[in-house]
Amino acid sequence: MIPRQETVLVVDDEIASCENLTLFLKHEGFAASYVNSGEDAVRQLQQATADVVLLDIRMPGIDGVETLKRIREKVSDCIVIMITASDDIDTALGAIRAGANDFLRKPVNFLELKHSMESELEKRRLRKENREYQKGLEEKVAEQTKSIRELYLALKKANLEIIRSLAEAIEAKDPYTRGHCNRVTKLSCALGMEIGLSKEDLEILEYGALLHDIGKIGVNEAILHKPSKLSEEEYKEIKLHPLVGDRIISGIEFLNRAELIVRHHHERYDGKGYPNGLPNENTDLLARIVILTDAFDAMTSNRPYRDMMMTNKAITIIKENSGTQFDPALVDVFLDKKIYLMDFPGEQ
């Protein structure tokens, strides 16, 4: 194994867990060490920074969330992945709000851990490049006003790459929806162009469609992968994901309107959707586009509980629900312009 430059600190009061994780990380080429308390982690990170911290939530003394807050006060750029034996969504959300990059459940799946670490390291690299680029942008704008448009497009691309990496990290948790966010984005933008959206609205639509399912990071994977009908309690957890997604991206300025898409992509035209039960006139147009394209792609994709539908059957369902679930004006354009025939993998 070729040694890597990144350092990893494991923080867990269970020595066996620390040793197993450290052994795996060293085998993967990381420089890994461990401590057994939040206090020791904070002290060590004051002396030497780490690229990645694997942090257990439940520990004696200061718990993982409090440790995370103290780490963020000292080190803003290290990646913190929370590890928990609990399925408590509020605990997970509290960790995300406190600055966690991701969270995994015990017992830790080493392949999932490796994917999460590499994904977060790549996102950090992109963020660093973006910061450096923004700094360079300010200098270049002062020197060359003619290059503003070109630089703006490059900055937009950097933001989009960060968003795409977030979407891919979400889909990695649910292999049955792999590619779903990208397909919904392409369908949504095609429909948006057909109805004459502005460039600004198309950009917002692209961001929102890519991130519409980001809240599934807070859903138990066993529920996402369940091959049979969900129980009432499981369905209630699934229905939380628009709100979870809304909280995750809340406060990110360039995603302000995209946040409405994330929150409302399961609302209905007749007001019987969730989480807010908003009728058509109270739902953002961009969200209504994603409501339609998300449903179509879900129907024509394989899921744990059913095989994908033929396109003709999905179209029939779309027509039957025009004016109740879906905006009828959008349905007319979607069908008349055959947006659904865009070249995607799968049954057409």
CA-CA distance, 302 to 297, in Å (whole number)?
Answer: 10
- CA neighbours closer than 13 Å in the CB half-sphere of residue 286: 26
Is 195 or 217 the better-scoring residue by pLDDT? 195
- Highest mean pLDDT among 31-40, 150-159, 251-260, 302-311 belongs to 31-40
Q: How far is CA 226 from the centre of its chain?
A: 20
What is the per-residue pLDDT for 347? Answer: 39
Q: Please report, for residues 36, 184, 218, 247, the alpha-carbon distance to residue 243 in angstroms, rounded to integers and kept in the order given.
A: 35, 19, 10, 6
Residue 264: both structure tokens together: 């409302």
Residue 244 has φ and ψ, to the nearest 5°, of: -60, -45
Q: What is the pLDDT of residue 47?
A: 87
Give per-residue pLDDT as tens, 99-150: 888 888 888 999 999 999 999 999 888 888 888 888 777 776 666 655 556 6
Average pLDDT over residues 214-224: 82
**345: CB partners within 8 A, 6+ apart:** 179
Integer Cα distance of 68 and 41 in angstroms = 10
174-341 shares the fold of 7-108: no
Highest mean pLDDT among 2-11, 23-32, 203-212, 322-331: 322-331
- The yes-or-no answer on residue 146 being catalytic is no
CA distance 290 to 64: 37
pLDDT for 231 beyond 80: yes
7-108: CATH number: 3.40.50.2300
Is the per-residue pLDDT at 88 higher than 70?
no
Rounded to 10 degrees, the C-alpha dihedral 185/191/197/202 comes to 10
User: Does the domain spanning 174-341 belong to CATH 1.10.3720.10?
Assistant: no
Domain segments of the chain as ranges: 7-108, 117-173, 174-341
Helix (H, G, I), strand (E, B) or coil at 188: helix
Tokens of 133: 């680029």
Percent of all residues in the chain with a pLDDT value above 70, rounded to a whole number: 89
Average pLDDT over residues 267-287: 94
**Per-residue confidence band for 181, with pLDDT thresholds at 50, 70 and 90:** confident
Active-site residue, selected from the candidate residues 69, 74, 216, 226: 216
Beta strands in the chain (DSSP E): 7-11, 31-35, 52-56, 79-84, 102-105
CA distance 332 to 348: 19
Residue 109: partners with Cβ closer than 8 Å, 6 or more residues away: none
Are 318 and 296 spatial neighbours (Cβ–Cβ below 8 Å)? yes
Q: Measure the CA–CA gap between 268 and 283, rounded to whole angstroms.
A: 9
Check whether the bond before 328 is cis (ω within 30° of 0).
no
- Give 147's DSSP letter: G
**What CA–CA distance (Å, rounded) separates 234 from 240?**
10
Alpha carbon 309 to chain centroid, angstroms:
26
**In angstroms, rounded to a whole number, what is the distance separating the alpha carbons of residues 119 and 283?**
34
Instruction: Express each pLDDT in 54-87 by its tens digit.
Output: 999 888 889 888 999 998 888 778 899 999 877 6
Rounded-to-integer distance, Cα 80 and Cα 74, Å: 13
Residue type, 301: S
Rounded to two decimals, the pTM is 0.56
What type of residue sits at position 80? V
Question: For residue 298, with 0-12 CB atoms within 10 Å meaning exposed, 13-18 middle and 19 or more buried, which class applies?
Answer: middle
| Averaged confidence pLDDT in the chain | 86
Q: Does the structure show a pLDDT above 80 at 89?
A: no
Dist CA 18 CA 54 (whole Å): 10
Which pLDDT score, from 0 to 100, does residue 145 have? Answer: 56
Tell whether omega for the bond before 345 is within 30 degrees of 0, i.e. cis.
no
